[in-house]
Amino acid sequence: MTQDRPKESCGVFGIFGHPQAAELAYLGLFALQHRGQESAGIVTADGRRLYSHCDAGLVADVFHDHSVFAALHGTTAVGHVRYSTTGSSSALNIQPLVVTTKDGTLAVAHNGNLTNAQELHRQLSAEGAIFQTSSDTELTVHLVARSHQKSLTARIRDALEQVTGAYSLLFLSPDRLIGARDPHGFRPLVIGKKGEAVMVASETCAFDLTGASYVRDIEPGEILEIDANGQHSVRFGESKLSQCIFELIYFARPDSCIWGEPVYRSRRRFGERLAQEAPVPADMVMAVPDSSNTAAVGYAHASGIRFDIGLIRNHYIGRTFINPSQFMRAFNTRIKYNTVADVLEGQRVVLVEDSIVRGTTLKKLVGLLRHAGVREIHVRVSSPPIRHPCFYGMDFPTRKELIAAWNSEEEIRRFLQVDSLHYLSLDGLLQCAPGNSRDFCTACFSGNYPVPIPPNEGRALAEETGESWAQMELERLLGGLT
Ligand code: SF4
């Protein structure tokens, strides 16, 4: 059940210059919990050294003993919530990673995926590097440690010029906080202010909770250094925007503001556009809660059909049922969702879902709705069909497991056993997204990867699809030119 949703990559939070830095980092991570539930950690700095507390579990579990804050000294902190997209979920991979280099101690927190990680790993290993983790994040600190530049920011710049892919990174040394965003700007990274303190976070919802105000985004290809002398920016790489459009569809919280607009507003427009592209006579519009709620409100508004709540999601499951026994697995859908039979009986419903990965969860929900006496089910998806895996930090299954990679819309409709099925068009999606439509990555829908994917992955993909690797590369290049 849980494996049938795209998984968020990670969330990062940093603060410089506040006496309660660790507590504010804790609150910030709370707000970013949706971006990763496997582990959480905070590292603080007091000008002389770093202090760390990290563990597996949700933020509330990792910091349930509040006495840990007394040991997190200092006025500067970085925090991280993790979902493992590369590297296993082993304890060694929990972030922020803390390393000791010839130039001092450094902590790093990463959101995204490096696409040349295998190649760099091979190269560094051949030169004698020893790795403590299996995550791509450690590569960045190896490269920082090897740089011969004088300042930490210059060494970070040196390192980032050697990596490709998606990264929003926070580095913490004993006396400074440094944020960096890849030149494509795949993942969001925003700056906030609370009094004299400066914050950096994956999403603005972290500022709302901590009482900070949004200042601006860290720009793609920008390294922002914050220390006792103020803030200094340096630029690196050639900036070519490829913001992840899935952040707007599903990943980011609707109460966050990313890329210059509240996520709620974009998500609602996707639903409105879907109603225009795929209208259907019905008695009510409902959402697969909670991530599809906003698009469903948009669909209802544009269609004039009443919005109602037909499914209730249980928010208190925790991680208990992620690997249940076969006996318990039979209860998976019921544990997470229940129907409101009184609302549903005899109704023709438009069921709005933000995305379909394998389709197995949605099929089970359709079964629940039928059982509750629904007369007709019309599924409307507020994103285009997902046909390609993501190599930039989102954990979709392999292409083999993506239902839309191998099945037509009609075949998926029959699999789901619904009366009709329609996806939002890619053009419609891009027209509803804020800013310039060319500034977004849409690779999981279009297959046009803005940064070359790892050669091994590409070959595996070609084998899965039966296409030649050369042909796929050619298509990618042509895609990049259009
Ligand atoms: S491939 Fe899809 S999920 Fe991955 S970065 Fe691009 S738009 Fe986002």
Q: What is the pLDDT of residues 253-268, one digit of tens each?
A: 999 999 889 999 999 9
Instruction: For residue 247, tell me if it sits in a domain.
Output: no
Peptide bond into 19 cis (omega under 30): no
Instruction: For residue 423, tell me if it sits in a domain.
Output: yes
Query: In the structure, what pLDDT confidence band is assigned to residue 470 with cuts at 50, 70 and 90?
Result: very low
54 is catalytic: no
Give the Å distance between the CA of 448 and the centre of ligand 1.
10
The percent of residues above 70 in pLDDT, for the chain, comes to 88
Asked whether residue 213 falls in the same domain as residue 147, the answer is: yes
Tell me phi and psi for residue 354, to 5 degrees: -75, -25
User: pTM of the predicted model, to two decimals?
Assistant: 0.90
Overall average pLDDT of the 347-356 stretch: 98
Asked whether residue 269 falls in the same domain as residue 399, the answer is: yes
The pLDDT assigned to 263 comes to: 98
Asked whether residue 299 falls in the same domain as residue 334, the answer is: yes
The pLDDT assigned to 452 comes to: 87
The pLDDT assigned to 471 comes to: 45
The response to whether residue 264 sits with its C-beta less than 6 Å from ligand 1 reads no
Largest CA distance in the chain: 72
The response to whether residue 245 sits with its C-beta less than 6 Å from ligand 1 reads yes
Question: pLDDT at residue 12 above 70?
Answer: yes
209: domain CATH number?
3.60.20.10
Q: Give which of 60, 237, 225 is closest to 164, Cα–Cα.
A: 237
Q: Which two tokens stand for residue 50?
A: 């770093």
Asked whether residue 336 falls in the same domain as residue 472, the answer is: no
The response to whether residue 386 sits with its C-beta less than 6 Å from ligand 1 reads no
Q: Give the structural domain span for 478.
A: 452-482
Give the Å distance between the CA of 264 and the centre of ligand 1.
19
- Cite the beta strand spans of 88-236 per DSSP E: 97-101, 104-111, 168-173, 176-181, 190-194, 197-201, 213-217, 222-227, 230-235
Query: In the structure, what pLDDT confidence band is assigned to residue 386 with cuts at 50, 70 and 90?
Result: very high
The pLDDT assigned to 429 comes to: 98
Q: Give which of 289, 284, 319, 288 is closest to 303, Cα–Cα.
A: 284
Asked whether residue 42 falls in the same domain as residue 152, the answer is: yes
**Is 446 in contact with 479 (CB distance < 8 Å)?**
yes
Q: What is the pLDDT of residues 61-109, one digit of tens each?
A: 999 998 999 999 999 999 999 986 555 567 888 999 999 998 899 999 9
Q: If you average pLDDT over every residue of the chain, what do you get?
A: 90
Pocket perturbation via mutation, ligand 1, pick of 10, 258, 259, 390 by most ligand atoms within 8 A of CB: 390
**Structural domain count of the chain:** 3
Instruction: For residue 430, tell me if it sits in a domain.
Output: yes
Closest residue by Cα to atom 4, ligand 1, is 390
The response to whether residue 442 sits with its C-beta less than 6 Å from ligand 1 reads yes
The response to whether residue 390 sits with its C-beta less than 6 Å from ligand 1 reads yes
**Is 387 in contact with 402 (CB distance < 8 Å)?**
yes
Give the Å distance between the CA of 442 and the centre of ligand 1.
6
DSSP conformation letters of 308-350: ---EEE-S--TTTTSS--HHHHTTHHHHHEEE-HHHHTT-EEE
The pLDDT assigned to 447 comes to: 95
Give the Å distance between the CA of 252 and the centre of ligand 1.
13
Asked whether residue 312 falls in the same domain as residue 456, the answer is: no
Asked whether residue 108 falls in the same domain as residue 163, the answer is: yes
Closest residue by Cα to atom 5, ligand 1, is 244
Instruction: For residue 144, tell me if it sits in a domain.
Output: yes
State which ligand 1 atom lies nearest to the alpha carbon of 166.
Answer: 5
DSSP conformation letters of 263-296: HHHHHHHHHHHHHHHS----SEEEESTTTTHHHH
Q: Which amino acid is at 70?
A: A
Q: Which amino acid is at 248?
A: L
Q: What is the pLDDT of residues 108-142, one digit of tens each?
A: 999 999 999 999 999 999 999 999 888 899 999 99
Query: In the structure, what pLDDT confidence band is assigned to residue 325 with cuts at 50, 70 and 90?
Result: low
Pocket perturbation via mutation, ligand 1, pick of 115, 354, 392, 453 by most ligand atoms within 8 A of CB: 392
Q: Give which of 248, 251, 282, 242 is closest to 267, Cα–Cα.
A: 248
The response to whether residue 392 sits with its C-beta less than 6 Å from ligand 1 reads yes
Closest residue by Cα to atom 2, ligand 1, is 444
Instruction: For residue 446, tell me if it sits in a domain.
Output: no
The response to whether residue 433 sits with its C-beta less than 6 Å from ligand 1 reads no
State which ligand 1 atom lies nearest to the alpha carbon of 186.
Answer: 5
The SS3 of residue 253 is: coil
Question: pLDDT at residue 350 above 60?
Answer: yes
Q: What is the pLDDT of residues 420-465, one digit of tens each?
A: 999 999 999 999 999 999 999 999 999 999 998 876 655 455 445 4
Asked whether residue 371 falls in the same domain as residue 463, the answer is: no
Asked whether residue 144 falls in the same domain as residue 116, the answer is: yes
Considering the candidates 10, 205, 244, 390, report the single residue annotated as catalytic. Answer: 10
More confident residue, 344 or 93: 344
